Amino acid sequence: MSEENNMTKKVDYDPSRIQNVEHGVSNTLDNIGVELLQIRVGGETVHAKRIGGFFRNIKTIIAPIWLLLFLGPYLQWDGHQAILWDIPNRQFHILGLTILPQDIWMLALILLFFAMALAAASAVAGRLWCGYFCFQTVWMDTFTWIEEKIIGNPNKQAALDKAPWTWEKIKLKGLTHSIFLSIGMLTGFSFVAFFTDSLQLWQDIFAGTASSTAVTVILVLGFATYFFAAILREQTCVGVCPYARIQGAMLDKQTMVPTYDIDRGEPRGRMKRVRPGEEAPKLGDCIDCNLCVAVCPTGIDIRSGQQLGCITCGLCIDACDSVMEKLDKPLGLIRYASLEEFEGKTQPPLFKRPRVLVYGGIMAFAGAILVYGLATIAPMKLNVLHERAPLFVMLSDGSIQNKLTIKVVNKTNKVMQVKLSADGIANMRVEGDTDLLLVEPGSVGSTTMLIKAPRANLKGDNTPVQIHAQDVLHPELAQTYDSMFIGPK
C-alpha cells in the first residue's frame, strides 16, 4: 500500500472513538461566555462565523496586500505603466525592464519557482496557499465580510436564505450581490488592464470604444469571479479546485495540518453542574460547542478527521483556543500537528525531510538562476553577424574588408540613438551605415558595418576585434561584442 493510502487510513478517525455525550445545554457554559452553536452543513450555504485570533489576523493582513496586486497596472514607473504584458509587440514590461521573447526563460523560471514554493509549502503545512493566498479564498472571505456588514451575523444570513422573497429580502440580497458582481467585474477589468494601457482602457470602456475582446474577457472573468466566490463559494474549494485533488501527493506523515487531538478531546460532551451525590461524567476537553465548525469557511468538522475540504486556514484553531481559554484549559485541542506527532514521534527539522529538500533545492536553483538573470540582463543587447559569402574582400589598396550585420536590441522603454564603433587592429577604418542607429523601445535596430584593415596589421586569418555600441542619449547604456576580423591565410 502506498504511503498516501497509509496516511489516509490513519487520518480517518475511527468513528467509534468519537462519542457525543449529551448532557444538555449548560448554564455553566453560559456563565463563562461559551456559545453553543447549531451547525449548518450539508446542502445549505455555509455562513461562517468570524471570530478573532492569530490565524484570522494573518488572513486579515495578507488579504489586502494580495488585493493590492490589482493596482499593479495603475502604477507608473519612469512615465510608463509599471507592469504591462504587451502581447501584440511580444514584450513584457516590469518596472522599467523590458523582457523580450528571447528572455522568456526567466518567466518559465518564475513559474517553476512558484510551483516548487507551492509544493514545498504543501509538504510543510498542507493547503497553505488555499487558506491564505488563493484568490478564491480571499474573495470569498471579502464577500462574506461584506455580507455580514449588510445582512448581519451568520444566523441572520441563514434566516434570510430561508425567508420568503419579501421586499426587504430583495433589497438586502440585491445590494450584496450587486457589490459582489461589481467586485467581480473590477477583478476582470484589472486582469485585462495588465495587458493594455490601463488608463486608456477605462476611457475606452466609458466611451464605448473598447475592443470586443477586452469587453468579453472582462465579462467572462467578472462573472466567473462572481460565480465561484459568491455563488459556489466553499464548493469551489471542496469539489471544483484540482489542487484539492492532487494535494494528497504532496503531503506526508510529517506535514503539519490543523488536527483535532482526539485523545484529549474525546469523549466530547457538554458540561453541566453536578448535583451533590451525582457522579461527574468522564469527559474529554471538547465541550461540543461546535464553534470550530461554525467558523469553518468550508463548513467541515475537523473533529471527524482530515478532509478534502480543509483549506488549512487555522480558523478552527482560533475558535477552539478561544473556548479553551475561557475554560482555563491548555490551548491546542485543535492545532497544527503532523501524523507522526500524534504517533509520539519527534518532528524532524525541515532540512532532514527529503520531500522538502527536493522541492527547496529546485526552488533555490530556479531562484538563483533568476536572480543571476535579472542582475545581468542588459538593457541593451548587441549582436554581430559576420557576412559568410564572401568572408572578406581584398581591396585594390591591399587592405582587407569585412562586412558585419549589427543588431541592437533595446530592452528599455525609451528610444535609443546608438553610436557604433570598432577597434582591435591598428589603422583599421569603419565605414558603411555608421550614422546613429535609432532603436525604438522593445525593438531591434539593424545596420551594416564595413571594417577595413591593412593586411600587414592582421594576426593571421582571424584577428580579434571589438564592436562597440553606445546610446548617446544615455551613455551608461553600452555594449561591446568580441568578434573576429577574417583575412587571408
Binding residues vs ligand SF4 (CB under 6 A): 258, 260, 265, 268, 286-292, 295-298, 300, 302-303, 310-316, 319-320, 323, 333-334
Nearer to ligand SF4, 230 or 295 (CB): 295
User: Nearest approach, Cβ of 203 to ligand SF4 (angstroms)?
Assistant: 43
Residue 256 cell numbers, joined: 503539519
Nearer to ligand SF4, 305 or 445 (CB): 305
User: Nearest approach, Cβ of 344 to ligand SF4 (angstroms)?
Assistant: 21
Determine the residue type at 282: K
**Cα 198 vs. chain centroid, distance in angstroms?**
21
Nearer to ligand SF4, 221 or 289 (CB): 289
User: Nearest approach, Cβ of 160 to ligand SF4 (angstroms)?
Assistant: 23
Nearer to ligand SF4, 187 or 312 (CB): 312
User: Nearest approach, Cβ of 168 to ligand SF4 (angstroms)?
Assistant: 31
Determine the residue type at 317: I
Nearer to ligand SF4, 236 or 298 (CB): 298
Nearer to ligand SF4, 91 or 255 (CB): 255
User: Nearest approach, Cβ of 285 to ligand SF4 (angstroms)?
Assistant: 7
Nearer to ligand SF4, 50 or 474 (CB): 50
Q: How far apart are CA 374 and CA 368, in angstroms?
A: 10
Please state whether the peptide bond connecting residue 390 to the residue before it is cis, i.e. omega within 30 degrees of 0. yes
Nearer to ligand SF4, 134 or 467 (CB): 134
Residue 110: is it exposed, middle or buried by C-beta count within 10 angstroms (0-12/13-18/19+)?
middle
User: Nearest approach, Cβ of 53 to ligand SF4 (angstroms)?
Assistant: 11
User: Nearest approach, Cβ of 44 to ligand SF4 (angstroms)?
Assistant: 16
Residue 152 cell numbers, joined: 448581519
Residue 227: is it exposed, middle or buried by C-beta count within 10 angstroms (0-12/13-18/19+)?
middle
User: Nearest approach, Cβ of 237 to ligand SF4 (angstroms)?
Assistant: 8
Nearer to ligand SF4, 7 or 311 (CB): 311
Determine the residue type at 190: S
Determine the residue type at 391: L
Nearer to ligand SF4, 314 or 424 (CB): 314
Nearer to ligand SF4, 319 or 356 (CB): 319
Three-class SS of the chain = CCHHHHHHHHHCCCHHHCCEECCCCCHHHHHHCCCCCCCCCCCCCCCCCCCCCHHHHHHHHHHHHHHHHHHHHHCEECCEECEEEECCCCEEEECCEEECHHHHHHHHHHHHHHHHHHHHHHHHHCCHHHHHHCHHHHHHHHHHHHHHHHCCCHHHHHHHHHCCCCHHHHHHHHHHHHHHHHHHHHHHHHHHHCCCCHHHHHHHHHHCCCCHHHHHHHHHHHHHHHHHHHHHCHHHHHHHCHHHHHHHHCCCCCCCEEEECHHHHCCEECCCCCCCCCCCCCCCCCCCCCHHHHCCCCCCCHHHCCCCCCCCCCHHHHHHHHHHHHHCCCCCCEEEECHHHHCCCCCCCHHHCHHHHHHHHHHHHHHHHHHHHHHHCCCEEEEEEECCCCCCEECCCCCEEEEEEEEEEECCCCCEEEEEEEECCCCCEEEECCCCEEECCCCEEEEEEEEEECHHHCCCCEEEEEEEEEECCCCCCEEEEEEEEECCC
User: Nearest approach, Cβ of 224 to ligand SF4 (angstroms)?
Assistant: 23
182 within 8 A of 57, measured Cβ to Cβ: no
Nearer to ligand SF4, 47 or 411 (CB): 47
Q: Are strands 393-394 and 400-410 parallel, antiparallel or unpaired?
A: antiparallel
User: Nearest approach, Cβ of 241 to ligand SF4 (angstroms)?
Assistant: 13
Nearer to ligand SF4, 98 or 298 (CB): 298
